[in-house]
Amino acid sequence: MTKNVVVVGTQWGDEGKGKIVDWLTDHARGVVRFQGGHNAGHTLVIKGRKYALNLIPSGIMREGVACYIGNGVVLNPTHLLSEIDRLESGGIEVVSRLKVSQGCPLILPHHQALDLAREAARGGAKIGTTGKGIGPAYEDKIARHALRVLDLFYPERFAERLRELLDYHNFVLTRYLKADPVDYQQTLDESLTLAPRIQPMMADVSAALYAANQAGHNLLFEGAQGTLLDVDHGTYPFVTSSNCVAGQAAAGAGVGPGMLHYVLGIVKAYTTRVGSGPFPSELPIDAAGTVGHHLSTVGHERGTVTGRARRCGWFDAAALRRSVQINGVTGMCVTKLDVLDGIREIKLCVGYKLDGKTTDLLPLGADEVSRCEPIYETLPGWSGSTVGIKHYEDLPKDAQIYLKRIESLCGVPVDMISTGPDREETIVLRHPFD
């Protein structure tokens, strides 16, 4: 029986989705990216070698697996080709296995210029974007004047629309944001030069996925960022510019919701966040010997794309409950459990005090979340190592108790556990494709 799985991050991103997608592709014939852009960073470790992916689905690391970039992704063509070149120089075949939706909006130089100029103008009130042009590209899409992958193959139409677009955006850049304009001719020439390399990969991804499903092929839909960064359901306005939730897999890939059978929520065993925005269970990370410093250093908590240090804190069950509801999570995969090894007492945020009342669910919007005071429950830590353990019964007893408590607080079973960065360092209690 055909089964399709959606993998989503349930926190503020960086939960370890890439490794799990790579691991699950052993049972899939196709992997689909359905939102975001090259602001995503998925790090995989395979036989001790580290790979960093941004746009290309994590399934590319498995031979024979087809990869798709759906219409919900905003595509920087220059970055796509550089990522392909980097992978193929390492012996990984990409072009023959990658299909790019003709409906993907393009990220062009003026989008990045706008992104950077806006963040600079905000000063201390900046959102903390990656500066990759993601937000402005989605704005053009919603305003219905984006240039898309298909337009690259109609040079006259592309040139005319680009001129109109740059007339508008250069006015904003120079008059309002006091930044330099983007050169029209250079943008046009560079964009059209890339078209011949992209053409072999351009496809009707929606039709291709429907055909694969009809043929009985298992598909894996790979989310980027995390649910709490979702533009509708996250800590707005400190969010990304796309929908990061499981339901977006349908719209962002062009498939019916009935094709989505299981939602795997990736859950870090503690909580991290990159960039600005409220974070109720945050701990200071600068002082050596503190729990926050331990999580930051042992967990190697730096952004794959930006290199910025991630903010770290205790596990937040109230935030996870919100994600479970929004995504319809079927089962959880808990990652980075090994980072908690050696911590004497472990706290879980089970709810908040907000304006004199208690709540066990993350509020909507940044203003309310910023006023939340965490309510903690304390569990004993464990001294034994969990690194590389592959069987649940071999975990320290207190680590098992911690996982069971996460299950009971969130109402969803832990189906998988990651005990290290390598694809083989994984415990499976219930396989999502079974």
Residue 200's H or E segment, with its range, is none
Q: Do the Cβ atoms of 242 and 25 come closer than 8 Å?
A: no
- Listed in order, strand segments (DSSP E) in 181-310 are 202-203, 219-222, 262-268, 271-273, 282-283
- Cross-strand bridge partners of residue 426: 418
Identify the three-state secondary structure at position 228: helix
Q: Do the Cβ atoms of 248 and 34 come closer than 8 Å?
A: yes
Cα 226-336-247 angle, rounded to 5 deg: 25
Residues with a catalytic annotation lie at 14, 42
The DSSP-derived string for 23-82 is: HHGGG-SEEEE-SB-TT--EEEEETTEEEEESSS-GGGGSTT-EEEE-TTB-B-HHHHHH
225: left (phi over 0), alpha (psi -120 to 50) or beta: left
Identify the three-state secondary structure at position 118: helix
Pairing mode, strands 49-53 and 311-313: unpaired
- Cross-strand bridge partners of residue 302: 309
d(CA 239, CA 128): 9
Q: Do the Cβ atoms of 271 and 279 come closer than 8 Å?
A: yes
d(CA 164, CA 177): 19
Helix/strand/coil (H, E, C) string of 283-307? ECCCCCCCHHHHHHHHCCCECCCCC
Nearest by Cα to 32 from 334, 327, 254:
254
Residue showing tokens 């903690």: 376
d(CA 330, CA 5): 10
